[in-house]
Chain A
Amino acid sequence: MERSPSDITRLLLDLSRGAPEAFDRLLPVVYGELKVLAGAQLRRERPDHTLSPTALVHEAFLRLVDQQAVSWEGRSHFFGIAARAMRQILVDHARRRTAKKRGRQHQVTLSTDPAIATPIPDDEILGVDEALGRLAEVDPRQARLVELRYFAGLSIEQAADVVGVSVATVKRDWVLARAFLQRELTRA
């Protein structure tokens, strides 16, 4: 597998210099990297065998991107791409689990820690993914915001940074986006 930090850094630099095709080349690379990293992290240091996308995306940024070389813009690009990749990964996981569950009714939880919150149901993940497709048709920026917040777990401030709008705007948009998701997911 292709996985050299310098490659990702170089592609990010290309993207910042206005080479949009770099995005298409980056997505699969970042996707692959996140998968490998997630696998390693899950197996190694998560007592409950779960991992937050926030942690994963930040870890990936640190490991895969030469922070000295990329600008603020490159950083934004990276988080945008990573959020897209996270969405794919989470949706894939949810799909696979849903398929498995049909054969096996209950899942054994490895966690004994009561502090761990109940997991988000797979149909919510799949529902958000679909609703997001509809949202992207009318308002791509809103859709990106959801991707960053819901799938990559970025904070309001970070998301504002990546989208390039003010924190106040993101806060306002987020209220609407959540209402939209709620409506879409209850309607079905």
Chain B
Amino acid sequence: MSLSPDRWRIIRGVFADLAELSGPERERRLAEITFNDPGLRTEIEALLVAADQVGDRFERAPMLDDDGDQPSVAIGERVGPYRVIREIGQGGMGTVYEAHRDEGGFHKRVALKMVARGRDSDAILRRFRYERQILARLEHRNIAALLDGGLTESGQPYFAMEYVEGERIDHYCRDRRLGVRDRLQLFRQVCSAVHYAHQNLVVHRDLKPSNILVGSDGTVKLLDFGIAKLLDPDEADDQLTQTGLTPMTTAYASPEQLAGDPVTTASDIYSLGVLLYEILAGRGPFPTGDVPVLEIRRRRLESLPLPPSRAVTAEMASLHSEPTARRLQRVLEGELDNIVLMALRKEPERRYPTVESMSDDLLRFLAGLPIQATPDSLGYRVGRMIRRNRLAVAAASLAIVAVLAGAAASLWQAGIARAERDRAEHERQKAEQVTEFFRSVFLAASPLKLGRDVTVVEAIDAAVPRIDSAFAGPDRLWLKTALQSTLSTTFFEMGLPVKALPLAEAALRARATLDSGRVTLDGANQVYDLAGVEYSLGHLVRAESLFRRSVAMYEALPGFDPTELARVWGQVAMLAGSQGRHAEAIDIQKRTIDLLRARVPPTDRSLRVALINYGADLTEVGRLSEGERSLREAALLVETTVGASHDDMAAALQPLAVNLMYAGNLAAAESVARRAHGILVRSRGPDNTATLVALRALMNVLVEQNRCQDAMGLARGVIALRERGLPETDLSLGSAYLVLGECLGRNGQARDGVVAVREALRLRLAVLPPTHWAVAYGRSVLGEVLVRAGKVVEGRALLDQAYHEMTTALGPDNPRSRQARARQERWGLAS
């Protein structure tokens, strides 16, 4: 029987109602509808019968299952030098077999991993060859060694690994009903392996229980180290970005992995956090269950996990040695919660800096010592919410207020359960006052009043003048300081140092009153923060004196971590370098780096920052190969630790471009400069101050290559930003005028060139000390352009003056001095 569309249309109109009815009522209604159409009646009746029978059939979508696409080799078959003995399991990235290699009469037993089909075999093998040295070097009692890899005759990649007998770590804990302390000890073995690998710059990327086996003697072995990277289809060999179908396991993947951002040591720390959560609480931090993946991912990116102690159920407790859920909760509550949540922070830089530090914290816990992990502070919560909603309209901002209130409440609850009632009450009041303040601010700046949407920046702008009155009185002074400081940091991180400055200054004043002459950590931090703001505004002299002041304060604090101090010294050195005092800077950096190398792991950010600044300063004094080495080391550390598209990579590449340019390797310099610029354009936008600094390097390389049209195009773009609010103090503006002027000179428009270069000099003199080499450099260019414009006497005088100043500032062997010398010789001496 074929359906007619007309008939179907009628059925569709009435069917759902009919299906709800029953017995005589359905019969009556059916008769009404079909009284002169028996065919329709038959049709509907058949469908009604079917509707009564259907139950929940068709409500569930068919599941996809494994379709036999799995790579397979037959038992007994040879794969490379191995003979396949039996299948051990499936999963991971393919099928795993036990295999033997016959070597001089005895069998060597290996686990053979056949990679699933559908992957790019050549690329995998290429990466394997590249990485094998590194992977083969990983020798650790808790790491299953990667022995070999290759292609089968049919072209399928395989890896041979040390054969490990053991049980998955989660099953091991569960089946033996291990107590919390035993579980932590096992977990610390995992940490030891991962930390060791990180020290060797290998990131696991796919840590999960099925990759972690425990042998019968209780020794943990980690499988698949480095394999995930080999199998990543987006891991291009000179890769900058990696998104898409990266192999990872959603339940253990970090927010940055889920977002497709580069995978780093911090991602492994996050996965370890998930693992520890699961080992302790019996379930993961973000229960998956029936929740759609979309939702899982959104939660992972946006919501904060419950502390593990709150995730415990009676059923889970029964799998521990703790008899009741309550007892287990009490063990986990507080310190273990804090340790796990610290590893699970969304922002990689706020997690434990290294796996070792996480493991040490667990050791402290086991020894009954105070741990280092702390819950998120109120200031952080406020800042995070503002930052996350920076572009939101005020209506959404009201939601922030609600969330804040919620955060305050949970803070209070969490606190009350512990013996810190007073502190909790204090925090609660603090949270309430801040919440109330923001509520009033956002209401005052509501769309109704301004007639359009209000961004959070505008709302905070409106809030700033009201802070004084809202938090008047000595007992609220500390709250006022905290708020000003948080808002200042927020603006600063949003790339609005102009707005950050008055707040940072106000916070420092309030802090000074509060501290009344005492040196406090908060006070020192406030000075340090202000220094950072001044620096980004180009106020180098003031920034340096503030950094030095903060150094003095930190030094006066008893027990202040010398590593931290080294970091601050690094900033002082950076400022000295920025003002042309490279020798001094190099000296400080050298000591900083030595100290950091001895005290922090290579993944610590301060080390790469110091290496970058050191390399940049070495470059400026003409020690090019040393500088290049330092910068390349920094770039490698950046790539391993935070990924190749992180801003820090741009920070390393930009001076590297200058270095290569000085070395005369112009093509490489241009490519490196473009890479640095590209990273910053993506992460901060084209007009950001930092992006412009990278653009500066690119413009200079172009000028060196005599590609003046390209360079001028870029320079004009920067100059155009002046009308869109780029402050005159931004050094990039002066550089752009300089490039423009020099190029106009070469283009036969020397008069216009003179005007541009004079403007460049004026801008530089307003910011830099007159003895700075960059001022001398400007004079040197001005000299050239003046000579080209026919003002030979004035021009020559300037060329002489510039060379003299340059050698005074940098010494005669400096690349810039040589450049000035070349200019003087070409345009000054001869004619």
| A contacts, CB < 8 Å to B | 3, 5, 35-40, 42-45, 47, 49-56, 58-59, 61-63, 89-90, 93-94, 96, 100, 110, 117, 119-120, 124-125, 128, 134, 137-139, 142, 146, 149-153, 171-173, 175-183, 186
Q: Is B38 interfacial (CB-CB < 8 Å)?
A: no
- Against A, the Cβ 8 Å flags (1 = close, 0 = not) of B792-810 are 0000000000000000000
Least Cβ–Cβ distance between A164 and chain B, in angstroms: 17
B293 cross-chain contacts in A, Cβ below 8 A:
55, 58-59, 62
Besides A42-B66, A179-B48, 4 more A-B contacts (Cβ < 8 Å) are A45-B250, A52-B64, A96-B68, A182-B50
B294/A49 in contact, CB under 8 A: no
> What are 14 A-B residue pairs whose CB atoms fall within 8 Å in the complex?
A38-B64, A44-B93, A44-B249, A49-B66, A52-B61, A94-B62, A110-B90, A120-B62, A138-B5, A153-B61, A172-B15, A173-B16, A181-B57, A182-B51
Which of B240-248, B451-459, B676-684, B759-767 lies at the interface with chain A? B240-248
Least Cβ–Cβ distance between B32 and chain A, in angstroms: 19
A-B pairs with the 6 shortest C-beta distances? A153-B61, A172-B16, A179-B51, A182-B50, A183-B50, A58-B294
Please measure, in the bound complex, the distance between the C-alpha atom of A120 and the C-alpha atom of B56, giving whole angstroms. 12
Q: Is B305 interfacial (CB-CB < 8 Å)?
A: no
A151 cross-chain contacts in B, Cβ below 8 A:
61-62
B91/A53 in contact, CB under 8 A: no
Q: Is B24 interfacial (CB-CB < 8 Å)?
A: no
B94/A51 in contact, CB under 8 A: no
Name the one of B8, B64, B251, B260 contacting A90, with C-beta atoms under 8 angstroms: B64
B58/A5 in contact, CB under 8 A: no
Question: Given A43-B92, A138-B4 in contact, is the A171-B16 Cβ separation under 8 Å?
Answer: yes
Question: Given A36-B118, A40-B245, A182-B57 in contact, is the A120-B63 Cβ separation under 8 Å?
Answer: yes
Contacting residues of chain B (26-71) with chain A, CB-CB under 8 angstroms = 46-51, 53-54, 57-70
Please measure, in the bound complex, the distance between the C-alpha atom of A141 and the C-alpha atom of B247, giving whole angstroms. 37
A47 cross-chain contacts in B, Cβ below 8 A:
91
Name the one of A3, A117, A139, A152 contacting B12, with C-beta atoms under 8 angstroms: A139
A51 cross-chain contacts in B, Cβ below 8 A:
63-65
Which residue on B lies nearest to A181, using beta carbons? B58
B47/A45 in contact, CB under 8 A: no
A43 cross-chain contacts in B, Cβ below 8 A:
66, 70, 90-94, 116
A124 cross-chain contacts in B, Cβ below 8 A:
62
B53 cross-chain contacts in A, Cβ below 8 A:
182, 186
Please measure, in the bound complex, the distance between the C-alpha atom of A138 and the C-alpha atom of B12, giving whole angstroms. 11
B64/A89 in contact, CB under 8 A: yes
A55/B292 in contact, CB under 8 A: yes
B66/A179 in contact, CB under 8 A: no
B11 cross-chain contacts in A, Cβ below 8 A:
176
Please measure, in the bound complex, the distance between the C-alpha atom of A77 and the C-alpha atom of B735, giving whole angstroms. 49
B12 cross-chain contacts in A, Cβ below 8 A:
139, 142, 173, 176
A94 cross-chain contacts in B, Cβ below 8 A:
62
B51/A39 in contact, CB under 8 A: no
Least Cβ–Cβ distance between A2 and chain B, in angstroms: 12
Q: Is B511 interfacial (CB-CB < 8 Å)?
A: no
Which residue on A lies nearest to B95, using beta carbons? A43
Please measure, in the bound complex, the distance between the C-alpha atom of A40 and the C-alpha atom of B116, giving whole angstroms. 8
Please measure, in the bound complex, the distance between the C-alpha atom of A65 and the C-alpha atom of B247, giving whole angstroms. 18
Q: Is B304 interfacial (CB-CB < 8 Å)?
A: no
B15 cross-chain contacts in A, Cβ below 8 A:
172, 175-176, 179
Name the one of B8, B46, B58 contacting A178, with C-beta atoms under 8 angstroms: B58
Q: Is B721 interfacial (CB-CB < 8 Å)?
A: no
- Against A, the Cβ 8 Å flags (1 = close, 0 = not) of B243-276 are 1110101110000000010000000000000000
Which residue on A lies nearest to B120, using beta carbons? A1
Please measure, in the bound complex, the distance between the C-alpha atom of A58 and the C-alpha atom of B293, giving whole angstroms. 6
Which residue on A lies nearest to B4, using beta carbons? A138
Least Cβ–Cβ distance between A34 and chain B, in angstroms: 9
Least Cβ–Cβ distance between B204 and chain A, in angstroms: 14
- Against A, the Cβ 8 Å flags (1 = close, 0 = not) of B63-81 are 1111111100000000000
B92 cross-chain contacts in A, Cβ below 8 A:
43-44
A181 cross-chain contacts in B, Cβ below 8 A:
54, 57-58
Question: Given A178-B54, A180-B50 in contact, is the A53-B116 Cβ separation under 8 Å?
Answer: no
B46 cross-chain contacts in A, Cβ below 8 A:
183
A61/B294 in contact, CB under 8 A: yes
Q: Is B829 interfacial (CB-CB < 8 Å)?
A: no
Name the one of A40, A61, A125, A178 contacting B51, with C-beta atoms under 8 angstroms: A178
Question: Given A5-B243, A178-B51 in contact, is the A150-B63 Cβ separation under 8 Å?
Answer: no
Question: Given A42-B65, A93-B67, A119-B65 in contact, is the A176-B5 Cβ separation under 8 Å?
Answer: no
